């Protein structure tokens, strides 16, 4: 009995000593890398998270914009950073898609520890009013009756809009001609004129044109209806199986970052996402807060990788 007590005391002492010698987190400024230029949607969301996160961590959080290489530069900087939680990455759907199309020195599933999915942003399948279809079923019938006579716009080769539309084609057995643009600004000019008949843009970018009736919403891409378009059905509920597409932002750390650090950041960010100010910001951006667990976010990344790998292969999509 005495021996058991001695062992128990030794274990307690060991745990106490480990707790005392464990490094304090964070013990220096946290760098939050945005792999895109300042001023965009990801940058805005990241800065909205960074400010309250700094308060909760009682440490400076510096947003570091590292654009280039389709997001690869920022991803590689994070991958090579010390595994101590002082360098984090805000990733997006592009973070998963880029290595599937281009030679990349990073793997989303191997080189990073997932922390939490911060937001999701559904897209909307829309058409020019000259298109007679008002539902997904009608659109599919129209496309099958007019193969290869329909053009759709995207924000570029390999963009999420491109892949979302190709997924729609795969799931419905339809054909459309891809017309890539260097951003959706120029694309809207041609869509409003009727030169381009359809696209899968973000809800917030197309909303002004939906309100004026210059473009018509057919369905939203997410599995749940969008709060900003509650009367518009989803693609999946309209009869297209296994269709759930969202742009998203999420936090990553270098693989091997201590679980205690991952859990701390996750806990703080989830609480931030519940605040009225953050909910208001998300709604204004056409986004919805998520706050998934590290395991749930890891499963999401694996599912995204599988989905877009399938689409790229079946649609024979090549890099520029």
Tokens coding 309: 């790998």
The verdict on residue 19 lying in a domain is: no
The verdict on residue 5 lying in a domain is: no
The verdict on residue 205 lying in a domain is: yes
Q: pLDDT tens across 108-156, in order?
A: 999 999 999 999 999 999 999 999 999 999 999 999 999 878 999 999 9
pTM of the shown model: 0.87
In Å, how far are 98, 195, 213, 224 from 208, measured between CA atoms?
A: 30, 19, 9, 22
For residues 252 and 116, membership in a common domain is answered with yes
Q: Contact at 8 Å (CB) between 78 and 252?
A: yes
Q: Contact at 8 Å (CB) between 118 and 263?
A: no
Q: Which range among 110-114, 156-160, 283-287 shows the weakest confidence by mean pLDDT?
A: 283-287
For residues 29 and 117, membership in a common domain is answered with yes
Q: pLDDT tens across 51-97, in order?
A: 999 999 999 999 999 999 889 999 999 999 999 999 999 999 999 99
Q: For the chain, what is the domain count?
A: 2
Residue 3 pLDDT > 80: no
Domain of 151? 140-220
For residues 150 and 116, membership in a common domain is answered with no
d(CA 161, CA 176): 13
CATH number at residue 44: 3.40.190.150
The verdict on residue 175 lying in a domain is: yes
The verdict on residue 225 lying in a domain is: no
For residues 115 and 147, membership in a common domain is answered with no
What ranges in 146-275 are assigned the alpha helix state H? 160-172, 184-193, 203-212, 259-273
For residues 107 and 250, membership in a common domain is answered with yes
């Amino acid at each position: 009995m005495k021996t058991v007590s001695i062992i128990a005391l030794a274990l307690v002492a060991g745990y106490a000593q480990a707790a005392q010698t464990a490094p304090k987190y964070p013990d220096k400024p946290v760098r939050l890398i945005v792999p895109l230029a300042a001023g965009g949607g990801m940058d805005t969301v990241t800065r909205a998270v960074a400010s309250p996160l700094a308060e909760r961590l009682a440490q400076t959080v510096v947003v570091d914009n590292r654009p280039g290489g389709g997001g690869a530069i920022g991803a590689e900087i994070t991958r090579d950073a010390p595994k101590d939680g002082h360098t984090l990455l805000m990733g997006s759907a592009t973070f998963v898609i880029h290595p599937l199309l281009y030679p990349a020195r990073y793997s989303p599933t191997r080189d990073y520890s997932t922390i939490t999915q911060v937001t999701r942003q559904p897209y909307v399948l829309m058409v020019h009013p000259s298109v007679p279809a008002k539902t997904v079923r009608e659109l599919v019938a129209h496309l099958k009756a007019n193969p290869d006579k329909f053009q759709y716009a995207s924000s570029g080769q390999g963009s999420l809009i491109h892949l979302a539309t190709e997924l729609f084609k795969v799931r419905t057995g339809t054909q459309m001609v891809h017309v890539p643009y260097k951003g959706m600004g120029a694309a809207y000019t041609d869509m409003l004129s009727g030169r381009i008949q359809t696209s899968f843009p973000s809800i917030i970018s197309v909303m002004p044109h939906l309100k004026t009736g210059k473009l018509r919403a057919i369905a939203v891409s997410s599995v749940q209806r969008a709060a900003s378009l509650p009367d518009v059905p989803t693609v999946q509920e309209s009869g297209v199986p296994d269709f759930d597409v969202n742009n998203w932002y999420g936090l990553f750390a270098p693989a091997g970052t201590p679980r205690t650090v991952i859990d701390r950041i996750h806990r703080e960010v989830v609480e931030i996402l519940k605040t009225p100010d953050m909910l208001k910001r998300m709604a204004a951006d056409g986004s919805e807060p998520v706050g998934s667990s590290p395991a749930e976010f890891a499963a999401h990344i694996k599912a995204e990788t599988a989905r877009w790998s399938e689409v790229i292969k079946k649609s024979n999509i090549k890099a520029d």
